[in-house]
Structure 1
């Protein structure tokens, strides 16, 4: 098979369709329901989801919680600094971070929060531009606790916010850029698993009452999820790596016997499931922690996903490649269909990206 041109996953999106704020109610988002067997689609709302799921189905969902990882500080000279927490290195005091302005912050540069909540010192620089920052806090408070008090939600770059975010907008983002089932003890994501943002406690209760189960997993969503494919062909792209955790109960839910479909909530869940099943032919009887380096693109087949809930993704993204694969597993027919579905969503003025609408692929 010839290489896949990245241009196949490109499209033009009118800027006004990029959702800047969430829907008034989570499950009021629109839902494009796609039937692969019949090759049809229909327009609904996310609150209609129970119509399309049945007893015995299981929702596999990523329960990673988003850390308010964007910290604001000042240099001793008074210059503004933005420090974005990526992940701890060896303890909670030392983190891999993105800092701005990067060129003006060499090793040993320091910065501090205006209210004294933390001080940071750059102790090393990495080849990709990231900084290793050592934090000091009053009373040795963990920097994650500080971030929950003074940090801003790490919204994607296509969501615009003023430098000085209004308190009400900050509160809205803190609540809505987080799934209702996020495990707040697992603040390991710097981007939300956005397909899950549409669920409400009431909708989950309705699904449970009709016999739809849930299975938990945790994928540490990183900034690489927003990195577009910059190579001419898909195969040349180097996919980012992300840590994931799969509990024993979730492992068992992936294998027979089971009575219903395995419904992945979001591409992060798909990546976790497929990476786990590529390594394991049976449950391991212990919780699994591994690193996903799997790049899913046509004509890949799927081992562990029977239906998918997903948002509408950025042009030339690895996530579009994954969805195209799922539309037609084992061949490349899903690429043309994906383009058709996205054209339909644009024509109907669906809202796109993290705070946007959703698609259910059956």
Structure 2
């Protein structure tokens, strides 16, 4: 069982917070699709010849900028060269390029899940982020998607936008709950170097929200979404029962995946690799019949620590028996003192050989995981 991630490195415009790899110049779009298909063929044995592909995820960038023929070419290449047993076919999209016609087009290509980058339902916030849609489009997109026949929907929301109080964030949450997409991914506004917000912050033109302010908004989100029947099955992801994202859940469970496209990452269960984050160089290398990538050789300790980091973020927690069976490691013995302290502080619980974060512990997930690392 494994997944395929396709990175489409194009966007209509640059969001002020984004440090993902993308370009607003789309003149190489057709050539990029051709090279993505070529990489798919070259990498057909990366996950093993008998591996069954359970999920395909088109991310970016904004993959919905591709036309029907371009998306179809990628899907057909996967179908020809991989063993498919699909449970989920997802594409990321923005509200402004999900017209009724585009939604029907995506439906005809057999996509069964949409991940929609809404971020906020307020124009003032969207304009500040330099998003390419407005609040009206944010409100309409769920209705249009349902009319097109999509049942599995996810929306992205962003918290931590600096304000005098939390009223705007509470309104965003209430609007999302009213629309009830079934799945909500929510991330804190982070100031990344090299972005517009990073540059403004460095020059003193922008003052980010405090850590306490963002932490308060995280806890408000937990309370609102829990009351609405959403389960926080991963730190940043909330879903109704049976609406969890299969593809992303497999990342956190350490299931192998193949990443295709510039800057895409792959994991074969033992090592990681990542493609070059440069469109022109990515294309050039594939035109010459090779893939420009770097490989990260993971030690036994790396694999253990990665598993602790990712699994602890989930509702299922870290399987201590798996660590013993797969790596001959008893985390309860090695980190007895730290685990005891976290239990005493109400940050972690031990349930049938699983270490699971409490609601309070989720706010400190990375810190706790780091203290448990070998």
**Shorter-chain TM-score: which interval?**
under 0.3
Higher relative contact order (CA 8 A, sep 6+): 1
More helix by share: 2
Name the TM-score, length of structure 2 as normaliser.
Answer: 0.24
Name the TM-score, length of structure 1 as normaliser.
Answer: 0.25
